[in-house]
Structure 1
């Protein structure tokens, strides 16, 4: 009887551990290259999340600014991520990102629910999310690298 109880307890412990670890492996889908994007890659850092579409003229103008900004911000533990407004996936997402010359990471899975991003009917729209996962700014329209750096600096100073 004692051995059976011990076996049941071990099984319960294993099930609890497996369930707990399952949450640790959460991912945000794949990027435009088909590579898995782990949630840990975004957690605990400031984020610039930009929504774009191929048919959006201002988006096309803004992308070179974001391309230049991404490696600079990465050194400050700030991630720049794109999301296709039309929800393109797989090869369509890859082609669209290549056509626009996007060099920063494009998320196939929209993080709107995760970060409680308010919906937008206009493009481009850029959200700044702090290191606690809270939306700090919603910027509508074309952004520049300098403008985004200034907003990030101001928001980070506010705490």
Structure 2
């Protein structure tokens, strides 16, 4: 009797699996974008500079204030352990680069209250902004299709994305990449 039930369940599972595969294949045919509608290379940087986000204290700041500088843009969250682990190194990098044309900024993906509370506890020597869940959308524009954190974007002073990094930064690699700017 148990073998008969097993065979029935296996048949039903295969049937539903086949139907799911069929629906996935037939409904996921996206039309290619016409060339005029395709996003430009500078699209994410322009979207970044178009943002006005509150800082950890709640005061709105225009991100366009960083135009003309090379930037290390770090998408992070207080609940993300690798994000928090790399913050002291990002702070040290900001202090090291203070005389150069490089700016580190953090874009927090959490509530204003959580980020403000975190910023009170942890000393951060670079500006931190609150993007909420909209920060995930902004990071996706920079190529973070997985939506993983931390996600860091290196932008040249010319406004071009030079490199992106998913996961905890390897600072020797970041410094080498900064040296090529």
Structure 2 unmatched runs, 5+: 1-49
Aligned equivalents of 2:125 and 2:111: distance in 1? 17
Pick the structure with greater CA Rg: 2
TM-score, normalization by structure 2 = 0.60
Structure with the bigger RCO (C-alpha within 8 Å, sep 6+) is: 1
Q: Given that residues 52 and 84 in structure 1 are in contact (C-alpha distance below 8 angstroms), is that contact kept between their aligned partners in structure 2?
A: yes
Match for residue 54 of structure 1 among 78, 84, 87 = 78
TM-score, normalization by structure 1 = 0.67
Matching residue of 1:7 = none
Aligned equivalents of 1:48 and 1:111: distance in 2? 17
Aligned equivalents of 1:75 and 1:144: distance in 2? 22
Matching residue of 2:22 = none
Structure 1 unmatched runs, 5+: 1-25
1:128 and 1:56, CA in 2 relative to 1: closer, same or farther beyond 3 A?
Answer: same
Aligned equivalents of 2:95 and 2:67: distance in 1? 18
1:68 and 1:144, CA in 2 relative to 1: closer, same or farther beyond 3 A?
Answer: farther
Matching residue of 1:134 = 160
Match for residue 34 of structure 1 among 42, 51, 58 = 58
1:34 and 1:52, CA in 2 relative to 1: closer, same or farther beyond 3 A?
Answer: same
- 1:147 and 2:173 aligned: yes
How many residues get paired?
A: 128
